[in-house]
Structure 1
């Protein structure tokens, strides 16, 4: 019963937004760029927080922010620093098949 009462997460993206255009360009240039992956995940997790949802792993979120701060401040990463494993990217799913019809 609790599964029916929980809110569903839907993130709508404006493809004309400057941030999204730049992320797309960088991702197309290098699909394995860790900073692009971090930025995309930060964008998603920030959207979750501002929408009132909680994060499954706040430590991962904090580690991403620290990596982005170091990158922005041009501080080199320590080789001994613990890297947080990035979750695998999900395959593109046909959104129509996931939608449920409401009476």
Structure 2
């Protein structure tokens, strides 16, 4: 997990205090809490060098008895370079960030990961999604009603549309 998360966390620790959740984010003894980090990000005259140093001291604690962690370990043992394993680890980390009160740096990537995992869970391939989009865009013109070509109705509408608004 530390290899996948790289510079996002300082340490990945096995926790003895987690019971129902698979993992959580804690800060080091002198690191900023989630609330302090939000306050410092909102400051107009913030020191960016301090931001990088203090905000980076996060620890990921994992629950070795949780079924998600056990299944993830089995997947890692099968294939460490699997893209879904990397997505799952990153998704666990980002979800733990949110649950611990931190903000995400790139929320759109988090949403894309969730959508990818939902597609994977439902058995939807990326090719199927692209084919659905192409067929939907190709059939859109055939579903439109024909244009009204009544002579005097269309002439009065076009004459009225071409006339400019008069200002007093």
Deviating above 4 A after TM superposition, structure 1's stretches of 4 or more consecutive aligned residues are: 4-7
Q: Which residue of 2 aligns with 1:36?
A: 85
In structure 2, the gaps of 5 or more residues are: 1-46, 131-168
2:101 aligns to what? 52
Query: Structure 1: any 5+ residue segments left out of the alignment?
Result: 82-103
1:43-87 Cα shifts (integer Å, max 9, x gaps): 000000111111111111011001001011111113997xxxxxx
| Greater C-alpha radius of gyration | 2
Over the aligned positions, Cα root-mean-square deviation in angstroms equals 2.3
1:6–1:40: structure 2 CA closer, same or farther, 3 Å change rule? closer
The alignment's TM-score, normalised by the length of structure 1, stands at 0.67
Which residue, out of 49, 54, 62, partners 2:111? 62
> 3-state SS of the aligned residue for 1:48?
helix
User: Closer, same or farther in 2 for the Cα pair 1:52/1:77, shift >3 Å?
Assistant: same
Alignment size in residue pairs = 81
Equivalences for residues 1-103 of structure 1 within 5 A: 2-3=50-51, 6=55, 8-78=57-127
Q: TM-score, normalised by structure 2?
A: 0.43
Measure how far apart 1:5 and its partner are. Answer: 6.4
* Higher RCO, 1 vs 2 (CA within 8 Å, ≥6 residues apart): 2
Choose between structure 1 and 2: higher strand proportion.
2
Q: SS of the counterpart of 1:10?
A: strand
